[in-house]
């Protein structure tokens, strides 16, 4: 297959842990042809969606791990698959890219994940579709509502709806002297909606990333365990990733969400689960392939490329 991957700048990729790199290694090992392009290389030109892309070859060296050809312009529908692997922020440029990719799909391009599904799924707010699996949660920009929620639950996590990597996630108690300024800051003085969730003590055992590929769960999650003194398990916030088999509750959640999310065109999804509770549904650029493989031997990238090949052959 001829695969185009929309991703972040190559020189910023940490090959020892990057999931997109693992996908590329697996695909190249099967003889697939890889092309890379930046989000700003997706354009509408001459009545079609065009990608300014470069063919990329993997060298296998740790330092200079790739070689790229000169850029060229090709319709995205000329590729067998287009992978949208651009990391957040989910801003208007990202939304514009989904509009363009949706047009490309109408022209015959196979885009994964589906661009409309990417645009329509708020990674934080999507949990509201599955209320039986979530802890008490509030989404609002009204400061009084947030303070009432903190008073009712005593120990709460508040976070923006568009954050990533644990950025701007705060744990707030009803007795916290900084609660007013935290709420004011996160809501931009009542002009931005945020999420408040009852604190889940099981975070001490890790914020589990459960990967769904074509609706089926990978048999291991990566529990991201907070460093001492932290309430965030995100690896970007210093958490430690520990791979572990899925629990019965993990499988229950994955079994309920997997088929529906796959039906919407989401080939790869990362569910975040703390204790028994679903906290996020990640669809933009789910990670943790390499950590799971290193600790368990489970070739997650292989499972993904199997699914990609099957989807493109359908």
Positions marked active-site = 124, 159, 209, 224, 232, 272, 280, 282
Residue 165 near residue 284, CB atoms below 8 Å: no
The radius of gyration of the chain from alpha carbons, rounded to an integer in Å, stands at 20
Backbone φ and ψ of 294, nearest 5°: -60, -35
For residue 59, how far is the Cα from the chain centroid? 27
The DSSP bridge partners found for residue 83 are: 5, 112
Burial class (CB in 10 A: 0-12, 13-18, 19+), 61: exposed
Residue 138 near residue 292, CB atoms below 8 Å: no
288: Cβ contacts below 8 Å, ≥ 6 apart: 19, 209, 211, 222, 241, 270, 300
Residue 20 near residue 5, CB atoms below 8 Å: yes
Please spell the DSSP secondary structure of 69-136, one letter per residue.
---EEEEGGGSSEEEE-PPPP--HHHHHHHHHHHHHHHTT--EES-HHHHHH--TTGGGGG-GGGS-S
- Taking the C-alpha atoms of residue 125 and residue 121, their distance in angstroms, rounded to an integer, is 8
Q: Which helix (H) or strand (E) is 225 found in, with range? A: strand 220-225
3-state helix, strand, coil in the chain (%, to 5): 35, 30, 35
Place of tokens 């931009």: 188
């Amino acid at each position: 297959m001829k695969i185009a991957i929309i991703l972040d700048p190559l020189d910023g990729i940490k090959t020892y842990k990057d999931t997109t790199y693992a996908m590329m290694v697996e695909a190249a090992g099967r003889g697939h042809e890889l092309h890379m392009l930046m989000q700003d290389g997706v354009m509408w030109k001459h009545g079609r969606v065009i990608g300014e892309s470069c063919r990329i070859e993997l060298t296998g060296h740790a330092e200079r791990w790739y070689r790229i050809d000169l850029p060229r312009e090709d319709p995205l529908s000329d590729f067998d698959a287009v992978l949208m692997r651009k990391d957040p922020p989910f801003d208007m440029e990202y939304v514009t890219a989904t509009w363009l990719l949706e047009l490309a799909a109408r022209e015959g391009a196979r885009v994964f994940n589906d661009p409309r599904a990417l645009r329509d799924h708020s990674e934080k707010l999507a949990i509201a579709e599955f209320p039986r699996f979530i802890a008490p949660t509030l989404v609002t920009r009204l400061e009084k509502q947030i303070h009432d929620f903190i008073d009712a639950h005593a120990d709460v996590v508040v976070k923006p709806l568009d954050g990533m990597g644990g950025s701007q996630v705060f744990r707030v108690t009803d007795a916290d002297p900084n609660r007013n300024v935290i709420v004011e800051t996160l809501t931009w003085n009542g002009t931005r909606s945020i999420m408040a969730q009852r604190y889940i003590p099981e975070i001490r055992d890790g914020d589990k990333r459960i990967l769904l590929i074509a609706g089926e769960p990978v048999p291991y999650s990566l529990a991201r365990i907070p460093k001492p003194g932290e309430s965030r398990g995100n690896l970007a916030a210093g958490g430690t990733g520990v791979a572990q088999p899925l629990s019965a509750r993990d499988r229950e959640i994955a079994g309920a969400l997997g088929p529906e999310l796959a039906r919407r065109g989401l080939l790869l999804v990362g569910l975040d689960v703390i204790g028994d509770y679903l906290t996020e549904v990640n669809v933009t650029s789910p990670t943790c392939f390499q950590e799971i493989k290193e600790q368990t031997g489970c070739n997650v990238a292989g499972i993904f490329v199997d699914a990609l090949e099957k989807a493109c052959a359908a």
